[in-house]
Amino acid sequence: MAKRPRKRGTGAITKLPSGSFRAQLSLPGSGRQRIGQTFRVEDDAKHWLREQTRRLRAGEDPDEARTTVAAHLDDWLENVGHSIRPMTLRGYRAHVETWIVPAIGSVRMSDLTARHVRLVRDRVTKAGRSPRTAAGVLLTLRMALGQAVDDGLVSRNLADAVRPPRPAPRQVVATSPDDARAILAAFKGHRLEGLVAAAIGTGLRQGELLGLRWSDITGDRIRVAGSVRPVPRAGGHGYELERSDQAKTRRSIRSIEAPPFVVAALAEERRRQAAENLISPYVFVTRGRRENEGKAVFLDGINVTRAFQRQLAAKGLPTMRWHDLRHAYATLMLSVGVPLRVIQEALGHTSIATTAGIYAHVLPALQRDAAAKLEEALTK
C-alpha cells in the first residue's frame, strides 16, 4: 500500500543513526516545503515541533521567527528597568552580559530548548562560581522567559524545568559573650568602634547602620527607616552612595531598643564628629575626597568590610563577614533567653519562620543549656 503523503502543517520526529533526533515540519503554501532541526534529546525535538506548530496555527510563519535570545533580553532589560532599583537592574544586566548571551545569545527564541537553559547553568558552575550565583543567573533567565511567554514568543517557560545547583548549607556560628567582648575590644579606639558596637548591639543591616540619622535616635530607642545603597552612575561607570527610605521588607521599618553600651558608643561618635568638625545629620560618616573634599559623606560598605576584616586579622581574631555581626546579635539574644518573636522583630524579618530557619541549628544547643539551667534551679 502506497505511503500517504504528510499533510501541510504537520510534523514528525525521526531518530538518526547517530542517536540524534530530527524534527521536521511541512509548511502549507510554501515553496520551501519543510523546515527542520536536529537535537540530541528527543524531548527538545518534541518541544521545537510543538512550538513551530503553535506558530503555524497562530498564523505566523515559523521560519520567520528570527528573534534571538540576545535581542529579547535587550528588550526585557529595557522594559524591566523602569520598575526596579538601579542596582537590581545592574545585577540583571551582569547576568545577561556575562553568562546568558555568551552561552545562548545567538539562539532564536523559537529554537530555544531546556538544553540551552542547562547550558547557561553549567557555564556558571564550570567557571567555578557558587551555586548561589548560578541560581541567580537562572532566576534572571526565568523572569526574561516569563516575559517572552506573555509576548507570545514562546509557549512555555523552559527555565521552570531546570533546577539550580543545590547550595552547600551555610550554618550560622553562634557567638558567645566572650567572643563578642573580644571583637569589641579589638576595635577599641578604632575608627569603626561605634559602628561595630552598634552592629553587635542592635543587629541592624550594614546599609541600615550607614543610613542612620541622629534624628532617628531618641534616648535608647532607634527608629530604622531607611538605608544607604549604591546607585550606578550615569554611563554605567562606578556607583555613588545615596540614602533610600524604601524598605527591604515590610517589617524593615521598625523601632528597637539599644543596650547601654551602644548608647554610649553613639554618644562617643557624636563627640568625635564635633571634635573633627565633621557635622552631619548622619551618625556614621567620613571625610570626602576629590569633589567632596572636606565634606561629611557616607561610608562605603565595601570599604567598611575591608577595614573590619583587616582589624580582625591584626588582632589575631578569626575572619568573618560584616553580616556575621548581625548573626552575632541574634545568637547572643537567643543565648540569654530572648524569645524568637522579639528577635524577629528586631532583625526586621518578614516572618518568624525566616528567623527560625536561619538559626534552627543553634536552637537545640540553647535548649539543652536552658534545660540544664532549669535542672540546676530546681534541684539546687
Contact yes or no for 154/148 (Cβ under 8 A)? yes
Residue 332 bridge partners (DSSP):
none
User: Is the separation of the CB atoms in 343 and 318 below 8 Å?
Assistant: no
Higher-scoring residue by pLDDT: 1, 199: 199
Q: Which CATH number fits domain 177-374: 3.20.20.70, 3.20.20.100, 1.10.1060.10, 1.10.443.10?
A: 1.10.443.10
More confident residue, 102 or 229: 102
Domain boundaries, given as residue ranges, for the chain: 24-64, 69-161, 177-374
**Highest mean pLDDT out of 1-15, 72-86, 351-365:** 72-86
What average pLDDT does the segment 265-282 reach?
A: 91
What are the beta bridge partners of residue 213?
Answer: 282
pLDDT tens for each residue of 7-38: 445 678 888 877 888 888 776 655 555 677 77
Cell of 276: 573633627
pTM above 0.85?
A: no
- State mean pLDDT over 322-329: 94
pLDDT at 81 over 60: yes
Pick the CATH number of 69-161 from 3.40.50.12780, 1.20.910.10, 3.65.10.10, 1.10.150.130: 1.10.150.130
What confidence tens digit (pLDDT) does each residue in 356-368 have?
Answer: 888 877 777 666 6
pLDDT band at 71 (very low <50, low <70, confident <90, very high): confident
Grid cell locating 361: 541549628
Residue 264's pLDDT is what?
Answer: 95
d(CA 150, CA 140): 16
CA angle 83, 84, 88 (to 5 degrees): 160
Rounded to 5°, the CA angle 283-264-186 comes to: 90
pLDDT at 169: 65
Hey, is 39 helix, strand or coil?
A: strand
